[in-house]
Amino acid sequence: MLREKLQHKNIILASGSPRRQQYFKELDIDFSIQLKEIEEIYPNHLKAEEITNFLAELKANAFNDLNEKDILITSDTIVWHENKALGKPKDYQDAFAMLQSMSGKTHEVITSVSFKTNVKLETIFEVTKVTFKKLSDAAITYYLDNYKPFDKAGSYGIQEWIGLIGISNIEGSYANVVGMPVDKVYDKLVEFTL
């Protein structure tokens, strides 16, 4: 449906995330993947969606050679827990500590998505609240050993084993927790066809 409307546009997804790439395939639109190495550093005073907005825009601004047909899409996700951003874990111990800290508590998963053309840059974000039941150290160890979620913000994937056995409640977009608020991305892409 959207594919025909966007046929005169060149959609570029600047994300190495297999989950985001899969979502774009499922949207049934033509797109290409282009990646640029970015040092993901943000100012310390930023909080919550300010961080993801900043990083999504930082990634978008690495692309300066867009033409009028291009729509560049960049994204960033963090887990926001107890007033702290949890990104991808540094190592096994870091991942274990993150999951332990979220056990029995509610955290927020925040994703920002930037849309850049040759004339403008727009950023949207989504916040989803996720509650873990109490996780045993054995469950956390089993998950880390078998699923190795070291490329994921907050050290977990909701679509994996830990999500099935450990998450007791979710408020908001499930797709956002996987890596992108697809409904909002779709609506924004529709706007480009109007």
First vs last C-alpha separation in the chain: 14
DSSP class of 146: H
* Cα torsion 161, 164, 168, 170: sign: positive
Active-site annotation, residues: 76
Angle between helices 182-191 and 18-26 in degrees, nearest 10: 60
